[in-house]
Amino acid sequence: MGVALACLAIPGVAQITLDNDFADWASIPTAGTVSTNTHVLSGAATSNADWVFWKVTLGEDLALDETIIPHGLQLWIDTDGNPNTGWVQENMGVELVLDFAQNEVIRFNAGGVSTTLSFNNIGLHGAPTYSGDMFELALDRGMSGVGSNTLTWQWVDTDHDEVYPATPATLTLNNASAGYDVVPLERGAGTQLRAMWWNVNRRMDQNSAAASMGRMVAALQPDVIGFSEVDDVSASYVKGLLESWLPGTTWNVVKDDYDLMVASTWPLGESFSGVYRSFPVVIQTQDLYGVPTLFTSSHLKCCGGMTNEQKRQSEADEYMAFHRDAMTAGGALDVPEGTPILFGGDLNMVGLEAPIYTLESGDIFDEAEYGPDFAPDWDGTGMLQVAAVQADRAMDYTWRNDNGSYMPGKLDYALVSDGVLEVTRSFGLQTSDMTGARLGDYGLYANDTWNASDHLPVVVDVALIGSQVLDTDLDGVPDAFDNCVDFPNPAQADFNGNGVGDWCEDSDQDGLWDADELFFGTDPLVQDTDGDGLTDGAEMDLFNTDPLSDDSDGDGVSDALELLFPPDSSTCPGDLNGDSAVTVADLLLLLGQIGFAC
């Protein structure tokens, strides 16, 4: 197909996040319009030092790297901006043809000799992984051979004989590094429950993989986990692993009749293994926010092809029928109105969009089998699909196989009832992108994610909307996570790391909180810091002497001896401290001198 080159230079800027949310493209101009096109409608490109990004808008839905919907979409790229190298077309020398229908790359050398490669050979990423009419791509400049000045690009639809733009667009490359604000792995502010979903690829009984999993779980500190591909291990085995990874915690673990588990630090209620390839479990979170939580770990049918598409849709329909039943009086389960609902796992969302749409919207495909459509959130709306972009990379993929033919993709999802829940933080964890310092901060190794599994864990922090989070001491830390429930300790100070805060522990039983001792300089592990026979608490609260000096007034006589021999003016028998009253303070003085040799 011959084309003519247009000098349409579009400057590239900043960072695009591949997350199926195209808001960050708003300031990037498209490459014009082609009035005769009905299939490839518009597109844009931008770049930074590491990546080139494209966005394309189509006239109908297709699955970009699947053929469940037949198409012939390609992206032609002149990586060096030289029309005389590569596969020479009219005024365009093509180095890369990204053939999405064939799921391959044709690479041309300077002389036009071609080599067939996979998308992974050139570092190509895309979103979404399922069907739609809008897609975004990221191409690794180093792996793909993109130069440093300009490149030329054009979308080609071989099925409909359309190109976009009408003449190839030139992108002036931006060689500045784009920053990315990494996501802290700690809980988001106000979080009440940290949920996690993880396909562990049947590696929990492999020592090296389990060690990586343990470091990741210790860094992430989840409250509830939905596991998939755990058919090779028992619930008791996983409980033992979790409690060894997080010493001092108690885990409750239940397994279904397939390959799913739910593990929780909160007590478990009813579980429902009869829902095919989804495992709903009631988590007893009443002490956390007054109602239970309906939590589901799911693993829908894998891979492409119409048969698998139909199975995946049927499985989504079946779960949503259960979901509807749980919200409606009568049936297998009734949850209180306002119960938080969290659904997630490896949904294998490739090919058609319909299953994830069903899970979000409550639009059931086979109503004759699974009943009517419904609103799956308590406010009459749909469930929220949580973005969960990676903590250290501006992409949302959760699976990758660099030796395979498919691009990295988002297969693992989390959906929450955002009518009652606020998402306070979410992310996927790919340790290979973390800096050395960040890995050290969290006790992680760079290879932990891919050593543990071929899927990333997906983490979602939530809090109940509008609830008065139980915070007895009003220090901003919910009681469920507070190491001093009755005494304010907003910083959660705990000098000895035993889980009891400094503002509610008296480690040496001398009458002073550890926090007071640390502030005043006394030893929180020694009752009598200055060794004068008087406890630190007695000196400060009863006798008004200095707990850091055995002779507070510097007269050469210890505090205890001075207190034992009160002024001559005292006429009260037993009044050892001369305060004209016989109290426990006098007894403490006497007890403090037991064993003293005169």
Q: What is the CATH number of the domain that holds 33?
A: 2.60.40.1190
Kindly state whether residues 124 and 202 are assigned to the same domain. no
Distances 95 to 56, 77, 90 between C-alpha atoms, Å? 20, 6, 14
Give residue 260's pLDDT: 98
Across the beta sheet with 421-428, the strand order is 252-255, 260-264, 224-228, 193-199, 458-464, 421-428
Q: DSSP 3-state assignment of 187?
A: coil
Give residue 8's pLDDT: 42
4 occurs within a structural domain: no
Residue 409 neighbours by CB distance under 10 Å: 23
Kindly state whether residues 519 and 431 are assigned to the same domain. no
55 beta partners: 44, 136
Kindly state whether residues 293 and 434 are assigned to the same domain. yes
Per-residue pLDDT for the chain (598 aa), expressed as one digit of tens each? 333 333 344 444 468 999 999 999 999 999 999 999 999 999 999 999 999 999 999 999 999 888 889 999 999 999 999 999 999 998 799 999 999 999 999 999 999 999 999 999 999 999 999 999 999 999 999 999 998 899 999 999 999 999 999 999 999 999 988 888 999 999 998 899 999 999 999 999 999 999 999 999 999 999 999 999 999 999 999 999 999 999 999 999 999 998 999 999 999 999 999 999 999 999 999 999 889 999 999 999 998 789 999 999 999 999 999 999 999 999 899 999 999 999 999 999 999 999 999 999 999 999 999 999 999 999 999 999 999 999 999 999 999 999 999 999 999 999 999 999 999 999 999 999 999 999 999 999 999 999 999 999 999 999 998 654 556 787 877 666 789 988 999 999 999 999 999 999 999 998 899 999 999 999 999 988 988 877 888 788 777 788 888 877 888 877 666 666 655 555 565 565 666 665 666 666 566 655 555 5
Distances 27 to 11, 16, 32 between C-alpha atoms, Å? 11, 11, 14
Residue with tokens 């659904």: 343
Q: What is the CA radius of gyration of the chain?
A: 33
490 occurs within a structural domain: no
41 occurs within a structural domain: yes
Among the candidates 434, 464, 494, a domain finishes at 464
499 beta partners: none
Report which residue type is found at 437: A
CATH of the domain at 237: 3.60.10.10
478 occurs within a structural domain: no
Kindly state whether residues 164 and 290 are assigned to the same domain. no
Could you tell me the residue range of the domain that residue 161 belongs to?
A: 9-172
496 occurs within a structural domain: no
Kindly state whether residues 420 and 515 are assigned to the same domain. no
Across the beta sheet with 40-47, the strand order is 40-47, 51-62, 132-140, 124-127
Per-residue b or e along 210-234, where b marks 16 or more CB atoms closer than 10 Å to that residue's CB:
bebbbbbbebbbbbbbbbbbbeebe
CB 427 within 8 A of CB 412: no
Kindly state whether residues 139 and 217 are assigned to the same domain. no
127 occurs within a structural domain: yes
Total domains in the fold of the chain: 3
Kindly state whether residues 539 and 434 are assigned to the same domain. no
Kindly state whether residues 216 and 142 are assigned to the same domain. no
Among the candidates 438, 464, 490, a domain finishes at 464
Kindly state whether residues 261 and 408 are assigned to the same domain. yes
31 occurs within a structural domain: yes
Kindly state whether residues 427 and 457 are assigned to the same domain. yes
Kindly state whether residues 143 and 205 are assigned to the same domain. no
Kindly state whether residues 433 and 337 are assigned to the same domain. yes
* Alpha-carbon gap, residue 249 to 260, rounded angstroms: 22
Return the C-alpha torsion angle 442, 409, 375, 310, nearest 10: -140
User: What pairing do the DSSP bridges indicate for beta strands 458-464 and 193-199?
Assistant: antiparallel
Does the pTM surpass 0.85? The reply is no
Helices (H), 39-176: 141-144
DSSP 478-536: -GGG-S-SSS--TT---TT-SSS-TTS--TT-SSS-HHHHHHHT--TT-S-TT-SSS-H
Helices (H), 221-302: 235-245, 286-289
If phi > 0 it is left, if psi is from -120 to 50 it is alpha, else beta; for residue 272 that is: beta
pLDDT in tens, 352-387: 999 999 999 999 999 999 999 999 999 999 999 999
Give residue 583's pLDDT: 65
CB 238 within 8 A of CB 245: no
User: H or E stretch including 281?
Assistant: strand 278-283
318 occurs within a structural domain: yes
